[in-house]
Amino acid sequence: MPQPAPVASLLAQLERDGFVVVPSILSPEQLERLRQASKATVDLARSGHWPHVRVVGKQFPPWDLTTEHGIWGVQHLMKPSLPEAGAFTQLYFSDDVLDIAKQLLQCNDDDLVMELFNMLIRPDTDFELRWHRDDIPPEATAADESARLAEPAYHAQYNLALFDDDSLVLVPGSHRRPRTATERAAGPFESTLPGQVTVRLGPGDIAFYDNNILHRGVYDSAKERMTLHGSVGHRQGSEVRARNVLQHGIGDWFDQCDFSVLADRERSRAEAMRIRLRHMGSSQEGGIIYSLQG
């Protein structure tokens, strides 16, 4: 299996471009097992027997249960009531993913925070996300954007493709600057912005990206998609990350997450990451704050 690029190379790419692709982090056996688990999970969600979904027509949480136009994502892959939660939990806490996350966060196991693990899927009808940054609202001024983008990211967010995926479109370098006049004047579904690229992933490839890079998603209902969409936090970002993570509803169940499928070392690390997530939740007073809505 190909090894990740040297840490300096990964960091340099992330800092320069706002994203980095690491090819083929899964063995053929892992890929097949995750495809099977994902198919069973998607079938459950499409049948209406897993209510935690992202509905077509709505980009950000909270998502209601109106699925008349179909779904484009499945939430809470590690929730213990999901039949395939064990397979997803093993991947989320694996060295395959966390070794790269630690390189990009420049930290060790004692800094990691359990965050989100969801799945982005083929929608029932074609669906597009508008241009956005995950934790900066579109009405932010250039000064506000600059101030927020100057803060440490404190997260490693990723898309891990189980099939070919060319759905993520982004503007490299935009994680380090406010929007240009052209970007501010563009429509939310503008098909082309100067310098944009499409991130192309093969089965088993993983893309890490700064979630405040200017990006959007374009989802084709005719093309199979099962892309595992996760994030890992750094303990120093507790309050900053709380508004971005807790809006997804993970606080309702993470204390019941079952780590018995993990080996001893991974289980110990997972328990510590869960404790740091609990601390994150206690830092957000006055109820859940949504980073973006719509």
pLDDT (tens digit per residue) in 108-156: 999 999 999 999 999 989 999 999 999 899 999 999 999 999 999 899 9
At 290, the pLDDT band (50, 70, 90 cuts) reads: very low
- Separation between Cα atoms, residue 18 and residue 16, nearest integer Å: 6
Select the CATH number that applies to the domain covering 7-76+92-106+118-226 from these four: 3.30.300.10, 2.60.120.620, 2.60.40.10, 2.40.30.260: 2.60.120.620
pLDDT in tens, 208-240: 999 999 999 999 999 999 999 999 999 988 666
**Tokens read off for 252:** 């309702």
Helix axes 95-105, 7-17, angle to 10 degrees: 70
**How far apart (Å, rounded) are the C-alpha atoms in residues 146 and 169?**
22
pLDDT for the residue 280:
76
Identify the DSSP state of 156. E
Per cent of the chain over pLDDT 90 is 77
> DSSP 3-state assignment of 283?
coil
Mean pLDDT of the chain: 90
The confidence score (pLDDT) of residue 67 equals: 76
What is d(CA 130, CA 32) in angstroms, rounded to the nearest whole number?
Answer: 32
Separation CA 213–CA 293 (nearest Å): 18
Which residue type does 215 have?
H
Mean per-residue pLDDT, 11-18: 95
Helix ranges (DSSP H) in 47-111: 85-92, 95-105
Amino acid identity at 23: P
What's 237's DSSP letter? G
State how far the Cα of 26 lies from the Cα of 17, in Å rounded to an integer. 24
Residues β-bridged to residue 234: 112
Q: Are strands 197-201 and 165-170 parallel, antiparallel or unpaired?
A: antiparallel
Write out the H or E segment, with its range, that includes residue 200: strand 197-201
Q: Amino acid identity of 151? A: E
The contacts of residue 207 (CB under 8 Å, 6+ apart) are 19, 20, 21, 22, 158, 159, 161, 168, 199, 201
Q: Taking the C-alpha atoms of 24, 29, 32 and 34 in order, what is their torsion angle to the nearest 10 degrees?
A: -80
